[in-house]
Amino acid sequence: MNRRFLAAVLAGGLLWSASVPSRADEGMWLYSDPPVKILKQRYGFEPGAAWMEHLQKSSVRFNSGGSGSFVSSRGLVMTNHHVGAEQIAKLSSPGKDLLEAGYLANSQAQELKCPDLELNVLMTLEDVTARVQGSVKSEMDAAAAEKARRAEMSTIEKESTEKTGLRSDVVTLYQGGRYHLYCYKKYTDVRLVFAPEQDIAFFGGDTDNFEFPRYDLDVTFFRAYENGQPARIEHFLKWSPTGPREGELVFVSGHPGNTQRLNTMADLAFQRDRRLPLVLNLLRRLEVLYATYGERTQENKRQSKDDLFGVQNSRKALLGRLGGLQDPAFMGAKQKLEDELRQAVAGSPEWSAAFAQVEQAIDVYGQILDDLYLYERHYAFNSRLFELAQHLARYRVEVGQPNTDRLREYRDSNLESLQQDLFSPAPIYPEFERVKLADSLAMLLEVRGSDDPLVQRILAGKSPRERAAELVNGTRLQDVAERKRLAESGGTGSKDPMVELALLVDPTARKVRKTYDEKVAEPLRQAYAAIAQARFAKFGTELAPDATFTLRLSFGVVKGYLEDGQAVGAFTDFAGLYRRSAEHHNEYPFRLPKRWVERKSRLDLSTPFNFVSTADIIGGNSGSPTVNREGQVVGLIFDGNIQSLVLDYAYSEVQARATSVDSRAITEALRKVYDAGALADELGS
């Protein structure tokens, strides 16, 4: 990773477009404001309203944090294996490991119902900026402004839900420069149709993750159901018979999670010096813990491998981001842009003040950082049972309050999703829970020290190991019925030890949450809204907002790149897969599933397998369809290369690339490796 990453950052400031108006193929564009002019000028392509609507309504959001698309009229949804993996793990049991073995439903009856998956499809979107901003009066301080805005957003969401029956979210764009109301059709009955073996879906494992060339069949198919039957879908994507060509214009429609391209230097420095190192140290701790737990027995490995994968993936991604921030060339380029902007707005006190406001908020953020992660984001209680207990401890209290006064996740618009999570029948593994909780309690003790009164009450005179065992053995929260009972009756007064712990921690957790919401998030929101406006004023409006896990359209061309002076081609093929496996003696994580070994001779080894394009994507885009001008599926986004990891903070098209599975590889594998001809036939039909 080092050498390859280096080549990108060495090139320095010139490559980084940072936050000036879009050059090249930058931009995760709003469907309400697509880059029509750029596409026409650069590619001679004009997407019409029908083209946009079709792609919009074919796009699916995985509420667990990923993207997908409808690919048949009968509700077939395509996404990545790694997006579906959480559900696939939950559908597994001892002796029946679907992650390892893969799964194919040969009939509708064999399609497996996911315990707690919600899919969203964006049906309508509406600008409600005036209404949200109008709720804030000039005499309000930050806390009051935040409350007023929150109240207005809740009201809008509630009215819309009542009117349309759709999931309605007010989305903050341009850091508060604009607010849009997004209404989603929800699917909560979702069933597993096909998943390949993890060994081919995540071939190369952590080693090849974020690298290219790449050889992964990172695909899974689910089916959305309504009223117990496959959903009838009007808008779905057709399958391209030819796949993409080198140099071809392609589009990516999906839900990029989060970018910080407008962030000021003070914010970036805080990310670099405090937040990313903190999170990375937590991730390393978890990585070692999960790896050692998994190595003890095959069953342990089955229980923990999805968590381990998640941790390794985050570690590698954040290390890439941190590497960018630790590079003076990158930071110098960002500094230069900020200096220019500051100079341009020097005469506007409100805009100038925004930079200081960011610094103040970041200062508070630094003071509460540890508590926020330990108590509110419960890194001190790394346990699914605690997570449930915290919800139960809050549930009745929050739901008993006016909708607008509740914590965001308890508002009416979020309640159904919360309940699905809270009452999920997904299995919980007591031994894994004990190990995770013991280690996180030990970490709390290390960070806060044994003299801390709250720590003493949390540990109750016991060692972290003993206390974790007592809590996990004593709780009844693994029982869904018990959770329902507690949610109804309210957690208060419960004798469940895990709920008692959550109640003990709750005042501290709520306090830091409140400080974060009022003294960090809200001032930052306001300051970035001002900065976004200043940027509009200086650079015009040809600028996409930062990603917010809402539907966006990116575009780019299929194109290789130069690395250390060597050309990296845009495509790999099946032949390369077999070569790469042999280089590593077919050992994990380069081990091929048995089926792939046996059926090698059936395959056309020249079939394109993975390819790269210049489309501007980020985490959350996983599972997005890659489509051509005709709106046909030519690929399936599943990763970006190492050089793309700093796209969080600034776009570059010199080396940063989005990686897709080629549509031709998917059908070739379905037919010849998995005997899934019926599924292949259904695609796009």
Cα separation, 571 vs 276, whole angstroms = 33
CB of 637 to a copy of itself, least distance (A): 24
327 sits near a copy of itself (criterion: CB under 8 A): yes
Q: Residue 559 class from Cβ within 10 Å (0-12 exposed, 13-18 middle, 19+ buried)?
A: middle
Which residue number, 447 or 537, has a Cβ lying nearer to a copy of itself?
447
663, 648, 674, 36: which is closest to 318 by C-alpha? 648
Strands 633-640 and 625-627: antiparallel
Min dist. Cβ of residue 212 to a copy of itself (A): 14
Among 466, 504, 536, 559, binds a copy of itself (CB under 8 A): 466
CB of 479 to a copy of itself, least distance (A): 23
Whole-number minimum distance, CB 647 to a copy of itself, in Å?
17
Determine, following the binding rule CB under 8 A, whether residue 452 of this chain makes contact with a copy of itself: no
Shortest distance, CB of residue 464 to a copy of itself, whole angstroms? 6
Provide the 3-class DSSP secondary structure of residue 184.
Answer: strand
Q: How far is the CB of 463 from a copy of itself (least distance, A)?
A: 4
**Distance between CA 613 and CA 571 in Å, rounded?**
10
Please select the residue that binds a copy of itself; options are 126, 287, 405, 517, rule is CB under 8 A: 287
13 binds a copy of itself (CB under 8 A): no
Tell me: does residue 292 bind a copy of itself (CB under 8 A): yes
Taking the complex as a whole, how short is the minimal distance between the CB of residue 355 and a copy of itself, in angstroms? Answer: 19
Residue 462 in contact with a copy of itself, rule: CB under 8 A: yes
Q: Which stretch binds a copy of itself (CB under 8 A): 146-154, 457-465, 560-568, 602-610?
A: 457-465
Residue 84 or 497 with smaller CB distance to a copy of itself: 497
From candidates 329, 454, 537, 575, binder to a copy of itself by CB under 8 A? 329
Cis status, amide bond into 589, omega within 30 of 0: yes
CB nearer to a copy of itself: give 296 or 602.
296
**Residue 12 interacts with a copy of itself (CB under 8 A): yes or no:** no
Consecutive H or E run containing 420: helix 412-422
Q: Under a CB-based contact definition with an 8 Å cutoff, are residues 69 and 201 in contact?
A: no
Backbone angles phi, psi at 79, to 5 degrees: -150, -170
C-alpha atoms less than 13 angstroms from C-alpha of 411 in its C-beta half-sphere: 23
The residue assigned the tokens 């996404």 is 79
Nearest residue (CB) to a copy of itself, 488 versus 564: 564
Range list of β-strands (E), 144-299 = 167-173, 178-187, 189-195, 220-226, 229-230, 249-254
Question: What whole-number distance in Å separates Cα of residue 223 and Cα of residue 108?
Answer: 10
Tell me the C-alpha distance between 593 and 590, whole Å.
10
Of the residues 273, 370, 416, 517, which one makes contact with a copy of itself according to CB under 8 A = 273
Among 180, 272, 525, 664, binds a copy of itself (CB under 8 A): 272
Owner of token pair 């806390």: 143
Q: Judged by CB, which is closer to a copy of itself: 316, or 513? A: 316
Query: Does residue 329 contact residue 12 with C-beta atoms inside 8 Å?
Result: yes
Q: Is 227 in the site for a copy of itself (CB under 8 A)?
A: no
Selection from 204, 399, 237 nearest residue 316 by Cα: 204
List the structure tokens of 74.
């009968």
Cis amide bond preceding 213, omega within 30: yes
Written as six digits, the tokens of 9 are 């950052």
> What number of chain residues touch a copy of itself (CB under 8 A)?
52
Nearest to 70 by CA among 263, 207, 199, 239: 239
| Site for a copy of itself, residues 428 to 447, rule: CB under 8 A | 434-435, 438, 442, 445-446
Instruction: Answer yes or no whether residue 450 interacts with a copy of itself by CB under 8 A.
Output: yes
Q: Does 296 bind a copy of itself (CB under 8 A)?
A: yes
Give the one residue of 165, 277, 493, 677 binding a copy of itself; rule: CB under 8 A: 277
Ordered strands of the 633-640 beta sheet: 29-30, 552-557, 249-254, 625-627, 633-640, 658-662, 608-613, 571-573
Instruction: Work out whether 101 is an interface residue with a copy of itself (CB under 8 A).
Output: no
Smallest separation (angstroms) from a copy of itself to the CB of 318: 12
CB of residue 641 to a copy of itself, shortest distance in Å: 15
Q: Give the residues across from 573 on adjacent strands.
A: 608
CB of 645 to a copy of itself, least distance (A): 13
- Pick 261 or 434: Cβ nearer a copy of itself: 434
Residues 570-629 that bind a copy of itself (CB under 8 A): 583-585, 589
Query: Which member of 13, 21, 65, 205 binds a copy of itself (CB under 8 A)?
Result: 205
Give the residues lining the site for a copy of itself (CB under 8 A): 2-3, 5-6, 9-10, 205-207, 269, 272-273, 277, 281, 284-285, 287-288, 291-292, 295-298, 315-316, 322-323, 326-329, 434-435, 438, 442, 445-446, 449-450, 461-466, 468-469, 583-585, 589
